[in-house]
């Protein structure tokens, strides 16, 4: 049977790589290779459902450290946008579908693990504590808006979620729930959409996408901490709010805000901002690299991913997918640091 291959034809920048997908009448073939140190994964759902702009074939694209195509995994057990990619301390790749309440896990051999129901909640981000704890964030909160017909309520409630963070043990058993605050944003139903663990492993920084607050929470003391930064209430929406973020090894924090990616110190001082060439709004995830000089980023509007310099913002590697423009399927990025 024919498969849906990847190609590396140039796209604009000769150094960039382009992923392409052919006729969907063909049988899908998994070509994911065993994970290699420095390898990058893209959560790039193939949005081919004419009845739902956020539904289609689950797909994780595999790249090498320079974002050159290597393979693809067609994921099972869900039908909506894959987001929030992260690699745990055992080398297992995680991804989430908040509408299907699915938690996707892929082992370092490139095999999707059997489904494991952690909770019927819209988890969309995860970080991994040094003690083996797994912290999962609810990307949604409140009652389902009338226009969000595909969102599911938490069983036994009239709510799509609470916007809280949940701690699980290494055995995937629930340990506790943290009542994290969230920020106002235009849709009214987003919770903790992006989250990153501080290098010390004791607290998280997080955002409610497009909201006005850059928040943090002390996991050890189980309490909300003062915000790192904020945006004036009159500036809500219009690309002014905070989104994707990642801590850097030295304690600096990167966060996407509109077209820019801003850098803050631990006291909330804005150190600098970047605007990687060729990109505007739409940063769906940031991920620090094992090489502290670089950070990965993916842009859901452009349908492309890049690796850029922490100090200059210069793009050093780039990949284009077939899910840009109206087909907004590129929602996650992660690096495999190695065994």
Return the C-alpha torsion angle 227, 231, 233, 239, nearest 10. -130
Q: What share of the chain is helix, strand, coil (3-state, %, to 5)?
A: 0, 40, 60
Q: What are phi and psi of 206, to 5 degrees?
A: -155, 165
* pLDDT score of 19: 54
The pLDDT tens digits of the residues spanning 257-299 come to 999 999 999 999 999 999 998 888 999 999 999 999 999 999 9
* pLDDT score of 271: 96
For residues 292 and 31, give the distance between their C-alpha atoms in angstroms, rounded to a whole number. 30
CB 262 within 8 A of CB 242: no
* pLDDT score of 278: 82
Q: Which of 252, 334, 255 is nearest to 298 (CA)?
A: 334
Query: What CATH code would you report for 17-335?
Result: 2.120.10.30
Residue 54 — left, alpha, or beta (φ > 0 → left; ψ -120 to 50 → alpha)? alpha
For residues 332 and 123, give the distance between their C-alpha atoms in angstroms, rounded to a whole number. 14
The pLDDT tens digits of the residues spanning 205-253 come to 999 999 999 999 999 999 999 999 998 755 444 557 999 999 999 999 9
Q: What angle do CA 214, 219, 221 make, to 5 degrees?
A: 110
Residue 77, token pair as written in the block: 């057990």
The residue assigned the tokens 């996650």 is 332
Low-confidence ranges of the chain (pLDDT < 70): 1-27, 233-239
CB 237 within 8 A of CB 186: yes
* pLDDT score of 4: 35
Strand-pair category, 315-320 with 17-18: parallel
Name the helix (H) or strand (E) containing 254: strand 253-257
Per-residue buried b or exposed e for 138-164, using 16+ beta carbons within 10 Å of the residue's own CB: bbbbbebeeeeeebbebeeeeebbbbb
Give the total residue count for the chain. 339
* pLDDT score of 13: 41
For residues 153 and 98, give the distance between their C-alpha atoms in angstroms, rounded to a whole number. 11
For residues 80 and 141, give the distance between their C-alpha atoms in angstroms, rounded to a whole number. 18
DSSP code at position 322: S
CB 215 within 8 A of CB 179: no
* pLDDT score of 55: 94
* pLDDT score of 314: 95
Q: Which of 335, 261, 262, 258 is nearest to 301 (CA)?
A: 258
Contacts of 234 (CB under 8 A, 6+ apart): none
Q: What angle do CA 283, 39, 306 make, to 5 degrees?
A: 30
For residues 158 and 162, give the distance between their C-alpha atoms in angstroms, rounded to a whole number. 11
* pLDDT score of 7: 36
Residue 134, token pair as written in the block: 């797994």
CB 137 within 8 A of CB 205: no
């Amino acid at each position: 049977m024919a498969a849906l291959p990847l190609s590396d034809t140039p796209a604009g920048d000769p150094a960039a790589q382009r992923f392409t997908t052919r006729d969907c009448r063909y049988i899908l073939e998994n070509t994911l290779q065993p994970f290699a140190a420095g390898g990058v994964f893209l959560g790039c759902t193939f949005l081919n459902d004419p009845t739902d702009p956020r539904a289609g074939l689950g797909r994780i694209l595999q790249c090498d450290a320079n974002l050159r195509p290597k393979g693809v995994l067609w994921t099972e057990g869900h039908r909506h946008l894959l987001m929030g990619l992260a690699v745990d301390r055992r080398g297992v790749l995680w991804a989430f579908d908040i509408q299907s309440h699915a938690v996707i896990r892929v082992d370092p051999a490139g095999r999707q693990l059997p489904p494991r129901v952690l909770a019927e909640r819209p988890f969309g981000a995860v970080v991994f504590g040094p003690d083996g704890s797994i912290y999962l964030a609810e990307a949604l909160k409140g009652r389902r808006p009338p226009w969000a017909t595909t969102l599911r309520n938490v069983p036994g409630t009239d709510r799509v979620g609470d916007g809280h963070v949940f701690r699980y043990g290494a055995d995937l058993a629930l340990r506790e729930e943290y009542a994290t605050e969230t920020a106002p944003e235009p849709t009214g139903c987003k919770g903790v959409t992006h989250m990153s663990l501080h290098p010390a492993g004791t607290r998280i920084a997080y955002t409610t996408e497009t909201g006005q607050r850059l928040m943090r929470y002390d996991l050890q003391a189980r309490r909300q901490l003062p915000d790192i930064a904020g945006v004036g209430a009159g500036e809500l929406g219009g690309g002014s709010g905070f989104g994707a973020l990642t801590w850097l090894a030295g304690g600096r924090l990167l966060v996407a805000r509109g077209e820019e990616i801003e850098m803050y110190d631990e006291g909330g001082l804005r150190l600098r901002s970047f605007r990687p060439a060729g990109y505007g709004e739409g940063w769906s995830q940031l991920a620090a690299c094992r090489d502290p000089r670089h950070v990965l980023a993916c842009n859901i509007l452009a349908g492309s991913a890049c690796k850029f310099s922490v100090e200059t913002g210069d793009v050093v590697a780039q990949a284009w997918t077939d899910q840009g423009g109206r087909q907004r399927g590129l929602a996650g990025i992660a690096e495999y640091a190695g065994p």
